[in-house]
């Protein structure tokens, strides 16, 4: 298995990046939908439309892409530890930030369920600030993965 992974390392890396881009696209868009959702009346036609959009985005893009990021990431780790380029401290920091991004993903899924029940526990401002989280994490994760500063 490890020989296969080493031989296909660049293909795995390309797939991993494609999955990351898909996951991030959803994580960047979902809080924006929440911002718009807070601006409409609970139970209205617009609110029901947002519920459908949020559910579809989460279930058809964000969740599958997040799973594929993890699976492809595990394969890349296996390839790296089986003779590929070495893993340094940057990698541990990256994994920690990816776990935080995963927790943010889980929180966004929880918020979607609240909207589904017409609960408005958080303000528009909260979701605007939340929208910055995935961006900041992505910038640092990409920097760590590309520059490998330590």
pTM: 0.89
Average pLDDT over residues 115-124: 95
Which of the pair, 7 or 83, is modelled with greater confidence?
7
Average pLDDT over residues 34-46: 96
Instruction: Judge whether 31 and 131 are in contact, CB under 8 Å.
Output: yes
Number of domains in the chain: 1
- Show the domain range for 54: 2-147
pLDDT at 49: 98
Instruction: Judge whether 134 and 27 are in contact, CB under 8 Å.
Output: yes
Average pLDDT over residues 87-103: 92
Backbone angles phi, psi at 121, to 5 degrees: -85, -20
The set of long-range contacts for 9-13, using a CB threshold of 8 Å and a minimum separation of 24, is 9/76, 9/79, 9/84, 12/72, 12/75, 12/76, 12/79, 13/76
Predicted confidence band at 83 (pLDDT cuts at 50, 70, 90)? low
pLDDT at 125: 96
């Amino acid at each position: 298995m490890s020989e296969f992974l080493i031989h296909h390392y660049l293909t795995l890396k390309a797939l991993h990046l494609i999955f990351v881009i898909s996951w991030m696209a959803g994580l960047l868009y979902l809080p924006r939908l929440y911002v718009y959702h807070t601006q409409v009346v609970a139970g209205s036609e617009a609110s029901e439309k947002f519920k459908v959009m949020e559910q579809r985005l989460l279930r058809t893009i964000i969740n599958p892409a997040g799973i594929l990021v993890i699976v492809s990431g595990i394969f890349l780790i296996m390839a790296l530890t089986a003779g590929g380029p070495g893993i340094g401290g940057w990698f541990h920091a990256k994994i920690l930030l990816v776990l935080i991004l995963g927790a943010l993903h889980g929180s966004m899924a929880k918020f979607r369920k609240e909207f589904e029940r017409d609960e408005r526990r958080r303000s528009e401002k909260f979701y605007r600030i939340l929208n910055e989280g995935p961006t900041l994490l992505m910038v640092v994760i990409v920097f760590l993965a590309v520059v490998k500063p330590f």
